[in-house]
């Protein structure tokens, strides 16, 4: 599940195959759409809630409310059913397992959440940068840009969220204590530090 950005992404997987999925732009409607879509996917797959034996979500960064939507549902579901919960970065989900890739997500006020990846692995760190800083990085390195590429005047590479969840399975982290899980928000002061 991912609701950290302008998309709502839900996928049901079995034996490393997508059984049913939903990935559509749903900006500011994720909370209204998540339950009906999840129910519809289960019906489409012929699943009952007992067929869900683990949950993978993104834990941020992203929209303050957006990240919390999928996380809240996942925490309740995993607690009630006593099943494992796994997390993945929302920026990593944008990129998938592509090489030489830059994930860009609007953080508002002429800033963006960003991270560089190669074949699913984080290169450096996730951070908030100004759009000008990001434009310079792109000019210097010519990454394939995923997400809100238009913010830095680039063409966005296509993101296949449902495939990316599958390909990034080796990179998910198990949540040891569901009750202490909170969204990962990048620190605002990082956006203003002098470089």
Q: What is the pLDDT of residues 99-120, one digit of tens each?
A: 999 999 999 999 999 999 999 9
- Report the distance separating Cα 80 and Cα 186, nearest Å: 30
Strands 121-130 and 111-118: antiparallel
- Tell me which CATH code domain 7-89+160-186 carries: 3.30.420.40
**What's the angle, vertex CA 193, arms to CA 192 and CA 195, rounded to 5?**
125
- Tell me which CATH code domain 96-152 carries: 3.30.420.200
- 116-133 pLDDT tens trace: 999 999 999 999 999 999
Contacts of residue 46, defined as CB under 8 A and 6 or more positions apart, other chains included, come to none
Q: Is 130 helix (H, G, I), strand (E, B) or coil?
A: strand
Where are the CATH 3.30.420.200 domain residues in the chain?
Answer: 96-152
Assign 187 a pLDDT band (cuts: 50, 70, 90). Answer: low
Where are the CATH 3.30.420.40 domain residues in the chain?
Answer: 7-89+160-186
Mean predicted confidence (pLDDT) in 11-23:
97
- Report the distance separating Cα 15 and Cα 10, nearest Å: 17
Token representation of residue 96: 């998938």
Assign 96 a pLDDT band (cuts: 50, 70, 90). Answer: very high
Cross-sheet strand order for the sheet of 101-108: 121-130, 111-118, 101-108, 144-147
């Amino acid at each position: 599940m991912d609701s950290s950005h302008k998309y709502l992404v839900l996928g049901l997987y079995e034996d490393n195959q997508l059984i049913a999925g939903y990935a559509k732009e749903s900006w500011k409607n994720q909370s209204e759409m998540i339950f009906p879509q999840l129910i519809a996917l289960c019906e489409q797959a012929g699943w009952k809630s007992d067929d869900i034996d683990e949950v993978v979500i993104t834990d941020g960064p992203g929209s303050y409310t957006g990240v919390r939507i999928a996380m809240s549902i996942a925490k309740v579901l995993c607690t009630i059913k006593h099943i494992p919960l796994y997390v993945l970065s929302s920026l990593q989900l944008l990129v998938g397992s592509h090489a030489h890739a830059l994930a860009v997500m609007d953080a508002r006020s002429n800033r963006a959440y960003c991270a560089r990846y190669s074949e699913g692995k984080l290169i450096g760190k996730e951070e908030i940068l100004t759009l000008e800083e990001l434009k310079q990085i792109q000019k210097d390195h010519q990454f394939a840009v995923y997400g809100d590429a238009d913010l830095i005047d680039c063409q966005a590479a296509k993101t296949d969220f449902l495939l990316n969840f599958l390909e990034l399975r080796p990179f998910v982290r198990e949540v040891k204590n569901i009750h202490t899980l909170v969204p990962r928000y990048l620190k605002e002061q990082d956006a203003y530090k002098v470089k």
